[in-house]
Every structure is written in structure tokens, then in C-alpha cells.
Amino acid sequence: MKILLTGASSDTGLKIAKKIIENSNNFDQLILLSSSSSLSEKVDINKNEKVKIIHQNLLDPFQDKLKLILKDIDILIHAAWIRPNNSLNAIDYNCKVAQNFLDNINKKTKIIFLSSISGYPKSLSYYGKSKFKVSEIFYNNRETCVFVCGLIITNKEKTSFYMLKKIFEKLPFLIKFGGKTKVLFINSDKVLKEIYNKIFDFKKGVHRLYENEDTSIDLFAKKNFEIRQKISLNISLFLKLFLLISKYLNYIPGVNKVVDKIIILTTIDKLEADEFTKKGF
């Protein structure tokens, strides 16, 4: 079995890579795709001849050696994501990457795609819209397993969970989002287990990868973060106003990236996510 993993230098991607390498007897070859030159410092490929690293910016034309490899892989695990400075470009950039893979992999290649709870049909964020469109492109063209993944709980920096943790712990006052603003979450170890198991027990479909809990962000923060602030600020009314004008704010350079992140955080709809994982495309 030959596997190609994108986003291998990210927190989740690196964990998947190390898990596969630990069980390399079950695989013929693992190709790690990353634009980061630091990946070779995190994964020692000299200890395992089955592992190969290819440095590739996914928005650039694919290298000839990558094209040859893609024609021969059995499974593509797509964990990479293009996060443009202007969130309005998220759909075009990521759909372009998805189509490039489809143009180069063989028809028998199976795809495991790590999507998001914001990636459902009626998503308000450009991140969510782009996740849904890429899911749709893969699903309609190859045997694809789409994981609808919640906020991944991890201790690593440069992750959504870590950034949320810092916001709650570093601000001099406590932000209260209100009971209607929910969060869907999942432990990183469970994400790793589900993706790894799907390699052997592949099943086309849309699969839920978040805990079945109805939890507000406020309650989630209380359970998971070290909060010491005594003064609290309820921003539930501000959020309603923000969402009303967000589509206009998205067109302001330098602001739209932050705007989209706030939309992602504050518009999680468990009913929509549950419905999508049940019905699929």
C-alpha cells in the first residue's frame, strides 16, 4: 500500500505521519508532502527507506517527480489547507489544489479528506465554504471519506485550540459569548485513531469526528482553560451585530482574515453538522 499525506508538517499531519511510520510494516511507501523545509527535522527519513519527503507549494505547478508518484498511490490523505491572507480567495485556492490532485492521481486512488464542522452547505465563513466545496469535488470524483472534524484539543502551538486558549487566558477580562454560541470538539488522539483506522477499513461517506455534546464556548472554556479574570464582558449582542455586517467587513483588506475566523468560531451549528454527516452529498 502506497500513501501520500499532505500537510505533513501541521500538528495533525505530523501525528498521522509518525503513526504510519511506527507501523511501517503495514505499508509499502509513505510520501510526505509539505512546503515547510523543517519537516525533515521532525521526521527522520534516514531510519526508514519507505518514507520520502517532497517539498511542494501546492499552489505551484506540481513537480514531475510528484506527478509520477501520484499516478501510483493507493491512498491520498489530504490534511493540508491553504489559508490565504484574503479569506475571499480560500475557495478558489483550495479548489485549485483539489483539482490538481484529481488530474494526477489514478482512478483507483482512495481519498481521506480532513474537513471541518464549519464545512457544511450553508456555512457562513469562507473557510467553511471552501472546506465544503473541496469535500464535494473529491466526493463526486473519487472514492472519498470525508471527516467532519471539530475543534481539535491539543497542546501544540499554532493550532485553533491553542489560539482560543490564549485569548481566554491572556485578556484582562473574561469574554462571555452567551449560551447560544456552541463549540464542537474532539481530542487529537481520537482524530489520529479514526484516520489511521480508515486506511484499513475504508468506507466512502461523510463521517462525524466530534463529540456528541451540546456545549457552549463559555462552558468549554471553563472546563479547558485556566481562567482567572474576575470581570466579564458579555458580547452576545455585539456578535449579532457583527454577523449582520460581516459580509461587508470581508471586503476590507487586512480585516477579512480576522473576520472569517470570528465567523468560524461563532456560527457553529450542530444541527447542520449532524444533518450533513447523516445525509452526505
93: containing domain? 81-279
Residue 123 has what pLDDT? Answer: 92
Mean pLDDT for the stretch of residues 120-140: 95
Q: Is residue 40 part of a domain?
A: no
**What are the residue ranges of helices labelled H in 206-235?**
217-224
* Range name among 30-39, 142-151, 167-176, 190-199 with the lowest pLDDT average: 30-39
Residue 140 has what pLDDT? Answer: 97
Q: Is residue 90 a contact partner of residue 77, using CB atoms and an 8 Å limit?
A: no
Distance, CA of 262 to CA of 248 (rounded, Å) = 14
**Residue 206: which residues within 8 A CB-CB, separation 6 or more?**
135, 139, 146, 148, 276, 277, 280, 281
Distance, CA of 89 to CA of 116 (rounded, Å) = 18
Mean pLDDT for the stretch of residues 254-266: 89
Q: Which of 62, 139, 49 is nearest to 96 (CA)?
A: 62
User: How many structural domains does the chain have?
Assistant: 1
Segments of the chain assigned E as strands: 2-6, 29-34, 51-55, 75-78, 110-114, 144-149, 151-153, 174-176, 182-183, 185-187, 205-209, 215-216, 232-234
Distance, CA of 174 to CA of 231 (rounded, Å) = 6
C-alpha dihedral over 20, 24, 25, 29, to 10 degrees? 110
The string of pLDDT tens digits covering residues 55-99 is 999 999 999 999 999 999 999 999 999 999 889 999 999 999 999
Q: Is residue 202 part of a domain?
A: yes
Q: Is residue 59 part of a domain?
A: no
Checking if the pLDDT of 235 tops 90, the result is yes
Under the banding of pLDDT at 50, 70 and 90, the label for residue 260 is very high
Chain mean position to CA 157: 15
Mean pLDDT for the stretch of residues 227-236: 90
Mean pLDDT for the stretch of residues 173-197: 95
Report the amino acid identity of residue 258. V
Residue 54 has what pLDDT? Answer: 94
Checking if the pLDDT of 39 tops 90, the result is no
Q: Is residue 272 part of a domain?
A: yes
Q: Is residue 269 part of a domain?
A: yes
Under the banding of pLDDT at 50, 70 and 90, the label for residue 277 is very high
Q: Is residue 74 part of a domain?
A: no
Under the banding of pLDDT at 50, 70 and 90, the label for residue 229 is confident
Checking if the pLDDT of 1 tops 80, the result is yes
274: Cα within 13 Å, side-chain hemisphere:
8
All three cell numbers of 63, joined, read 513537480
Under the banding of pLDDT at 50, 70 and 90, the label for residue 255 is confident
Other beta carbons within 10 Å of 223: 8
Q: Is residue 213 a contact partner of residue 33, using CB atoms and an 8 Å limit?
A: no
Residue 218 has what pLDDT? Answer: 95
Residue 158 has what pLDDT? Answer: 84
Checking if the pLDDT of 46 tops 90, the result is no
All three cell numbers of 210, joined, read 466530534
Checking if the pLDDT of 164 tops 90, the result is yes
Q: Is residue 4 part of a domain?
A: no
Q: Which of 97, 189, 185 is nearest to 148 (CA)?
A: 185
Q: Is residue 270 part of a domain?
A: yes
> Count H helices, E strands: the chain?
11, 13
Residue 129 has what pLDDT? Answer: 96
Handedness of CA 272, 275, 277, 281 (dihedral sign): negative
Mean pLDDT for the stretch of residues 253-271: 89
Which CATH number fits the domain that encloses residue 110? Answer: 3.40.50.720
Checking if the pLDDT of 29 tops 90, the result is yes
Distance, CA of 166 to CA of 216 (rounded, Å) = 18
Under the banding of pLDDT at 50, 70 and 90, the label for residue 251 is confident
- Helix (H/G/I), strand (E/B), else coil: 165: helix
pTM of the model: 0.94
Distance, CA of 27 to CA of 21 (rounded, Å) = 9
% of the chain residues with pLDDT over 70:
99
Mean pLDDT for the stretch of residues 141-153: 97
